[in-house]
Amino acid sequence: MMTLLSQLFSITHRFLGGGPRKDSLDRLPNAILLDIFSLLDVADVFGLRRVSKLYYQVTKDAALWRALLRRTDIPIPILPPTSRNTIDCMSVSEMERILVRARSIMRNWQSPHPKVFREWNFDTADYHILDMTLLPGGSHLITSACDRGDQQCSLIVWDLDVKGAPKMVVAIPTESKAYDIQAKYMSLNGVNSIVLVYLQRNYLFKNDLEAADLGLIPRASQLSTYYKIEAEFRYQCTAGYLPLENLQRYVDIPYPYGTSQHRAEMEKLPKAYNHLTKIATQGEVLSCPVLGVLFGDPHFLVVKGTNEIVFRRLLGSGFDTATLTCIDSPNYAQLPHTIKTIQLVPQEYTVFVVREVATQPPPRSRHPVYLFEVYAALRCSPFERTSQQQLPLTCHTEDSRYIGGDLTHIYVPEFPPYIHPAQLTSMPKRGPYAPYLRARFPPDPPLPICVYARSSRDPEHIVRITFEARRLVSHSPAPSRDAHTPDGGSRITPKRQTVYLHTLKSSRCVSRCPMYQPNGVIRIIPAATRPLVCLSSPDDRDAAPYITEVRPFIDRGWEAERYILDDFVRWPPPGSRLEAPRFGARAGNGGKGPGELGKRVVAFAWEESVGRLIVAEEGMHTLSVFDFADAPPQDTERNGVPGSSAAAASP
């Protein structure tokens, strides 16, 4: 429906003005112009704003942007699942922002040298950052931070899309540094929330704690979590959630965080953060936390020790815990096995596990074997804690000598979820997920499992191993009647059922990208399709290593469509080339943003679906933000007259 303003403008322009030519599109009713403009590309719509006042008003109509949003085939990054983020509630500028950013990041990553469109900073007040993560869509940032006196650590939630500047929403006290922070938008008992899982560690022995308090040794929060530290710790994995509607009320408080007026307003509101559960150990390492929905309920998983995976249902009692023990491979009996990383495969009710088998004891030359395995997920009983030993459902073995050498820092990132435009129509009334939290792709066929790792072979490599899903067709015993026979009769045929499973058999593809950096060490900033790599100084095991530059890690095969060949879902196509080019020069000052970093960096946060990279520099109380997606044009026209830079801008 046309807005009242555009209707009045159209009437005034056509009847009081000079009137359009007979062969002009201006003679058409605005409703028809909207139908025509809705068939155009987003860039063409912005170009029409420069043509005339009439076209400017039509291209600012909400009905046009709803139509463009519903029609687009560009992957749309997800939005926080609140009632404000539906098509009926979003403003024109918000819908423009969604489409422009999605189109811009896609086109930018298709270029030979992606570039930064915007570089900006924001103040973190009295906190310096220790670790951080971005939620899918890049709207919310979770930071682990410490105050200026290094006395109190906190988890801080930031809203980055607040008009003006990012806003600190809530600070959650923690015992020590939170790291390996996992955060997702999930539904708990029908309440859309930010769900958090994070690890903490502190010295196990009292003598070490006292020495840290006296400054004789570093505090546990000052130690690197990137490398293994030769010290004894006690570990804790904690889960909690923040209801999004409550969080929005905190965002709407008009006073600065920490002031007396702000605290007074907070006391009137429901609690922002709610603790769910925790797992603690004394000396046994906890690692690789994972969040996901399993058997219809939200769960988190964490690796305990070297060969155990703990499952915990988030909405259950303390007994809703199951422990899976991965049995050593019979081919390498008596050799130490260590879980390096895990990832949940919820649609198959399985867990993907990467284990390292040390075939040579130190100090002899290491040639480890890597086991890529799939285990059946365990159900958590509400009445008792269960444990089970398992052999893998399927296993693929790789010798380090044939895949690029000893692998370190292995990651299995999740693919980013995308919105289907039809899923933005309204908020759900029930179900574990809001409908727009579903992935861009339907469940059939599924996405591959991608493993990224750093290879120690000289020169250093980035190794990617993909495991494609296999299509299996079975015939259901329940028959169906088919009346379309040549003789006009009928016959009984069994139903065909197609399922896809990651069998790991004959489905793996190993890709390597050498990085010729004689004076640097490669680090991976993980992501499924748009990971980044950074180069640090050699032998720098500090918690804030010196990072010389950041580069994109690009596979053009992700731009291709998925297809099925020999019953395997091929994506990206085999043989696609990996490259790590330098970032392009930014328009304006010509700088390359993170491509010329040259700083000691405490932490990175990267969200690939919107192309947002956040860098925390050592000793600074600010965060640097690099946006690789162009911002939508701003409404800065004078007296409604198009032709300014805002009206002329295009994504």
What residues are paired with 356 via a beta bridge?
338, 370
pLDDT reading at 392 higher than 70 = yes
Q: Domain of 74: which CATH number? A: 1.20.1280.50
Q: Which residues contact 488 (CB under 8 A, 6 or more apart)?
A: none
Number of domains, the chain: 1
Q: How does pLDDT run across 209-220, given as a tens digit for each residue?
A: 999 999 999 999
* Domain enclosing residue 16, as ranges: 4-110
Average pLDDT, stretch 176-187? 97
Domain assignment of residue 344, yes or no = no
Q: Which residues contact 593 (CB under 8 A, 6 or more apart)?
A: 115, 116, 119, 583, 586, 626
Q: Scanning the structure block, which residue is given the tokens 């932490």? A: 603
Domain assignment of residue 144, yes or no = no
Taking the CA atoms of 9, 15, 16 and 21 in sequence, report the sign of the dihedral they define. positive
pLDDT reading at 326 higher than 90 = yes
pLDDT classification of 363: cutoffs 50, 70, 90: low
| pLDDT confidence of residue 2 | 44
Average pLDDT, stretch 32-58? 91
**What is the C-alpha separation between 238 and 266, in angstroms, rounded?**
24
Determine contact, residues 459/515, Cβ cutoff 8 Å: yes
| pLDDT confidence of residue 542 | 87
pLDDT reading at 481 higher than 50 = no
Q: Scanning the structure block, which residue is given the tokens 């909690």? A: 240
Average pLDDT, stretch 342-362? 91
Domain assignment of residue 619, yes or no = no
Q: What is the pTM of this model?
A: 0.89
Q: Which residues contact 624 (CB under 8 A, 6 or more apart)?
A: 119, 120, 121, 614, 615, 617
Cβ neighbours of 257 (radius 10 Å): 16
Average pLDDT, stretch 276-303? 96
Average pLDDT, stretch 193-203? 97
pLDDT classification of 475: cutoffs 50, 70, 90: low
| pLDDT confidence of residue 18 | 52
pLDDT reading at 7 higher than 60 = no
Considering the chain, what is the average pLDDT of its residues? 85
pLDDT classification of 640: cutoffs 50, 70, 90: very low
Domain assignment of residue 342, yes or no = no
**What is the C-alpha separation between 502 and 448, in angstroms, rounded?**
8
Domain assignment of residue 22, yes or no = yes
Q: Which residues contact 364 (CB under 8 A, 6 or more apart)?
A: none
Q: How does pLDDT run across 138-177, given as a tens digit for each residue?
A: 999 999 999 887 779 999 999 998 888 899 999 999 999 9
Q: What are 463-466's contacts with CB under 8 Å, separation 24+?
A: 463/403, 463/404, 463/407, 463/510, 463/511, 463/512, 464/510, 464/511, 464/512, 464/513, 464/555, 464/578, 465/372, 465/398, 465/403, 465/508, 465/509, 465/510, 465/511, 466/508, 466/509, 466/511, 466/572
- Joined together, the tokens standing for residue 318 give 């303390």
Determine contact, residues 124/595, Cβ cutoff 8 Å: no
pLDDT reading at 127 higher than 50 = yes
Least confident span in 91-95, 170-174, 633-637? 633-637
Average pLDDT, stretch 594-618? 96
What is the β-pairing status of strands 394-399 and 599-607? unpaired
pLDDT classification of 362: cutoffs 50, 70, 90: low
| pLDDT confidence of residue 150 | 76
| pLDDT confidence of residue 477 | 58
Domain assignment of residue 117, yes or no = no
Q: Which residues contact 17 (CB under 8 A, 6 or more apart)?
A: none
| pLDDT confidence of residue 493 | 55
| pLDDT confidence of residue 64 | 95
Domain assignment of residue 102, yes or no = yes
* H/E run at residue 462: strand 461-467
pLDDT classification of 346: cutoffs 50, 70, 90: very high
Task: Measure Cα distances from 133 to 129, 130, 207, 302 in Å.
Answer: 11, 11, 33, 18
Q: What are 94-99's contacts with CB under 8 Å, separation 24+?
A: 95/62, 95/65, 95/66, 95/68, 95/69, 96/65, 96/632, 96/633, 97/631, 97/632, 98/69, 99/42, 99/65, 99/68, 99/69, 99/72, 99/74, 99/651
- Joined together, the tokens standing for residue 358 give 């040390």
- Joined together, the tokens standing for residue 603 give 């932490």
| pLDDT confidence of residue 511 | 87
Average pLDDT, stretch 337-361? 93
SS (H, E, C) 369-430: EEEEEEEECCCCCCCCCEEEEECCCEEEEEEHHHHCCCEEEEECCCCCCEECHHHHCCCCCC
Cβ neighbours of 237 (radius 10 Å): 26
Domain assignment of residue 79, yes or no = yes
DSSP characters over 495-525: EEEEEEE---SS-EEEEEEE---TT-EEEEE
Opening angle at CA 341, ends 553 and 375, nearest 5 = 120
Average pLDDT, stretch 249-274? 94
Least confident span in 26-35, 505-514, 543-552? 505-514
Determine contact, residues 350/412, Cβ cutoff 8 Å: no
**What is the C-alpha separation between 374 and 316, in angstroms, rounded?**
26
Considering the chain, what percentage of its residues have pLDDT values greater than 70?
84
